[in-house]
Amino acid sequence: MNRDYYIFSSGRLKRKDNTVYFIDECENKRALPIEQTDNIHIYGEVDLNTKLLNYLAQYGVMLNFYNYYGYYSGTYYPRKKNVSGFTVVHQSYFYIDYDKRLELAKAFVESSIHHILRNMRKHKEKINVNLIEEIEFEKENIDRAKEIDELMGVEGRIRKKYYSSFNDILRNGFIFEKREKRPPTDPVNALISFGNSIMYTTVLSEIYKTQLDPTISFLHEPSTKRFSLSLDISEIFKPLIVDSIIFYLINNRIISKDDFKIEEGVCFLNDNGKKKFLSEFERKMSTTIKHRHLKRKVSYRTFIRLECYKLIKQFIGDEKYKPLKAWW
């Protein structure tokens, strides 16, 4: 199985013969097995050239870039090889037909809320049980929604109630008052933003391996300069993967307040904190579960690609899309 590589130091990425090397500022050299690499994530200041980019493109390796705070900036996206005009036309049709679009958008929200409730029930001895009941009640409004904005309003109200349970779940002095994205001003918000950013790029990488067009989405409005389908699919996996990692890291004292920095009112993970999060993220993504229908073990990363394949089947008329709802 291919894997991702993360670069935190500043230095150079270069190709020499048929090998890719990262050379840091102290001239330490590290070889990257490019034939076994899916993505390279760059957090430091790294120099590279077109010779390297052309070589990475041969193997379909994506380069993901992150800013000073560790949040996603953009991707070097090699020429897509797995393309199908037939699939893209039908994917577009599902966006243009508002009823079909709304149906898919509801499926993404239903899956997200299923995983939100799953997280809360795992900690039900700590949290206010009424919150779970309130979310269950609000969940009924998904079927009643006639507009995408109305649906997103339901999801927003549920997520607000969900976030209000974090202070009951989290231990070791971590406090979460409200969700703040631009910018995050406390450690919990910084963890959520960092984790969601990684989830976005991971989903984008899996979309890239299929015939889906990442710019045609259903819950989030397609627009310029973003791969909005990645945002749609990420809704399914953020509570399932990112939030569970945050609970684990904090409650097991793996991550502490020493792993954060605050500069000009912006709170973000330092390099040590990023490494801790990404180490657990990679462990989680490689964890396998016995699939109920495939009758074999698949990893969390594979579940994301399976979600893409299920969407393709819906678009081309093979099988109705049923979003993942974790049973384990």
Binding residues for Mn(2+): 155, 220, 235
In whole angstroms, what is the distance from residue 116 CA to residue 135 CA?
A: 9
- Residue 286 in tokens: 């490689």
- Residue 240 in tokens: 């399932």
User: To the nearest 10°, the Cα dihedral for 327, 204, 89, 316?
Assistant: -20
DSSP 257: G
**CA-to-CA dists, residue 13 to 24, 28, 64, angstroms:** 9, 12, 13
For tokens 């004292």, name the residue: 253
Q: Which amino acids are annotated as binding site, given as ranges?
A: 155, 220, 235
Q: β-strands 29-32, 37-42: how paired?
A: unpaired
- Residue 91 in tokens: 């994917």
Per DSSP, the three-state class of 31 is strand
Residue 198 CB contacts under 8 Å (≥ 6 apart), including other chains = 72, 242, 277, 278, 281
Amino acid at 27: E
For tokens 């109705």, name the residue: 320
For tokens 């390297």, name the residue: 52
Dmax (CA) of the chain: 62
